[in-house]
Chains A and B, each alone.
Chain A
Amino acid sequence: MSFKLFTLLVQASVWTIGISAISIAIGFLIAIGLSAALLSGRRAYRRPAEFFISFFRGVPLLVQLLLIYNLLPFIGLNVPSIVAAIIGMSLCTAAYQAENLRGGFESVPKGLVEAADMVGFSPRQVFVRIKVPIAMRLTFPALVNEAIMILKSSSLVSVVGIVEITRMAQDLASSTYMPIEIFSAAALIYLVICWSVALAGRYGERALPGAVK
């Protein structure tokens, strides 16, 4: 396999990494809201969040992507396919991250919240200054895991026409008739990316403020 082919795959990995990173970040913000709704005493908040999560966890990502890709123009939103891909991936990862965060919020020791109550924090201040940072620490390993899952699942956005690693590999394989070399190279690139994320995660965990070293 030529160096040039390998370079094309590496270039395509920018899309893989970019879409995954953006989706994880957007998904995280949505997940904070969803998990707050899940933990809310009010049914009117909890039920829609539960429905959202069971939908996005119960339907294959591939189907979600195709649905969103076709639905957006149907409701008059002609957005580039990259936007459809990011929306689909963000919503999907939000559902998984919300479940993680819910567990994290539930594991915040009650005493830490009581200590904040005693010094006069409002419920919102308790949430922002105490619950969110502590729940994030508790769920950080799960978040890294989810990032790796999303990186791998991003291969599915090739169905909406985005030329990321997998799609590039398919194109190259059919034009060069070297599928084994090319898919091996693609596998290697995925592996390096995922290892890097896992490694960065382990460093990040130790670098969190107040982490036990």
Chain B
Amino acid sequence: MTLPAISVSKLVKRFGTTTVLQDIDLEIPEGKVSCLIGPSGSGKSTLLRCLAFLEEASEGMITVNGEALGFFENAKGVRERLPAGQIRSVRAQIGMVFQQFNLWPHMTALGNVSEALKTVHKVAKTEAEDRAMIQLRKVGLENRAGHYPSQLSGGQQQRVAIARALALSPKIMLFDEPTSALDPELTGEVLNVMRDLAVEGMTMVVVSHEIGFAATVGQQISFLDQGRLLFTGAPSDVFAKPRHPRLEQFLDTYLDRGASMLA
């Protein structure tokens, strides 16, 4: 039994007085693709952002490869905040891909991918760019290295964003609806890059409405509804019958989006 890559226990997230996530217990297995599905507004992004510590959980614990992220419980069981340096070092194991790509517009594709190597890790410019180039090649964009984000299609921008995260050799990659800002004909190129990553054994957590991707690439599926995890299991269980009534209703709404082969 290997240690889970990420382990979430009793996580609660409130924004002011509204509770957005309630009693989340979740283990993300290492080397596998875990998908987070659920209706819009169910808290998927918030949960993923808690895993990246872009949001601070109100209660509960998250550990990444056994190390506490952001907060730890002291001997008396009281939750304490960890120092910023500690948060940064745990976070360094995590790469994040956003729905809106979030590429830096004043840097070329190569600049976006090599920037953190240069600025944060103090790698020499030529070496950083060589390493960035390897990542761009991996996502099929070596011939776009000198292009600025404004000169790239949405699909290309998202692939650069994936390369940017990969350049720092993360152990875990988080994806928040990586294809939902894209025109339908551009989703394939991004999903293919993600498929390649999955084949390489990258630990991935993917929030997606691409049920087809979840069913074919996903190895663990979690269903979130109104801030609660209603179900976590293998894809075959998710799409098997009988299903949880809320999951059934959700799948009925989304199955026509390219997963009809599973019906």
The chain A residues found within 8 Å of chain B, CB to CB, are: 109, 111-112, 114-122, 125, 129-130, 133-134, 137, 208-213
Considering only residues 42-78 of chain B, those with a C-beta below 8 Å from chain A are: 52, 54
Q: Which residue of B lies closest to A128 (CB)?
A: B119
The chain B residues found within 8 Å of chain A, CB to CB, are: 52, 54, 88, 91-92, 94-96, 98, 100, 102-108, 115-116, 119-121, 148-150, 161, 164-165, 168
Q: Are A210 and B149 within 8 A (Cβ)?
A: yes
| A148–B255 CA distance with the chains assembled, in angstroms | 59
Residue picked from A116, A118, A210, most chain B C-beta under 10 Å? A118
| A20–B24 CA distance with the chains assembled, in angstroms | 60
16 sample A-B contacts, Cβ–Cβ < 8 Å, listed by A number: A111-B102, A112-B105, A116-B104, A117-B91, A118-B52, A118-B91, A118-B95, A118-B165, A119-B164, A119-B165, A120-B88, A120-B91, A121-B119, A134-B105, A210-B106, A210-B149
| A125–B98 CA distance with the chains assembled, in angstroms | 21
Given A118-B54, A120-B120, A121-B120, verify A209-B107 contact (CB < 8 Å).
Answer: yes
B104 contacts which of A122, A130, A211, A212 (Cβ < 8 Å)?
A130
Interface residue SS majority, chain A: helix
> In the complex, what residues of B have CB within 8 A of residue A137's CB?
105-106
Give 8 A-B pairs besides A120-B116, A120-B121 with Cβ atoms closer than 8 angstroms.
Answer: A118-B54, A119-B116, A119-B164, A122-B120, A133-B106, A134-B106, A210-B148, A210-B149
> In the complex, what residues of B have CB within 8 A of residue A211's CB?
150
Shortest CB distance B169–A (Å): 11
| A129–B111 CA distance with the chains assembled, in angstroms | 11
Q: Are A114 and B119 within 8 A (Cβ)?
A: no
Shortest CB distance A106–B (Å): 17
Q: Are A119 and B107 within 8 A (Cβ)?
A: no
| A125–B104 CA distance with the chains assembled, in angstroms | 14
Shortest CB distance A89–B (Å): 29
Shortest CB distance A203–B (Å): 17
Q: Which residue of A lies closest to B150 (CB)?
A: A212
Residue picked from B103, B104, B150, most chain A C-beta under 10 Å? B104
> In the complex, what residues of A have CB within 8 A of residue B107's CB?
209-210
| A129–B96 CA distance with the chains assembled, in angstroms | 19
| A120–B111 CA distance with the chains assembled, in angstroms | 16
A118 contacts which of B94, B104, B119, B150 (Cβ < 8 Å)?
B94
Q: Which residue of B lies closest to A134 (CB)?
A: B106
| A212–B88 CA distance with the chains assembled, in angstroms | 34
> In the complex, what residues of A have CB within 8 A of residue B91's CB?
117-118, 120
| A134–B102 CA distance with the chains assembled, in angstroms | 13
Q: Are A121 and B106 within 8 A (Cβ)?
A: no
Q: Are A111 and B165 within 8 A (Cβ)?
A: no
| A209–B103 CA distance with the chains assembled, in angstroms | 13
| A119–B148 CA distance with the chains assembled, in angstroms | 19
> In the complex, what residues of A have CB within 8 A of residue B96's CB?
114-115, 118
Q: Are A109 and B149 within 8 A (Cβ)?
A: no
Q: Are B105 and A210 within 8 A (Cβ)?
A: yes
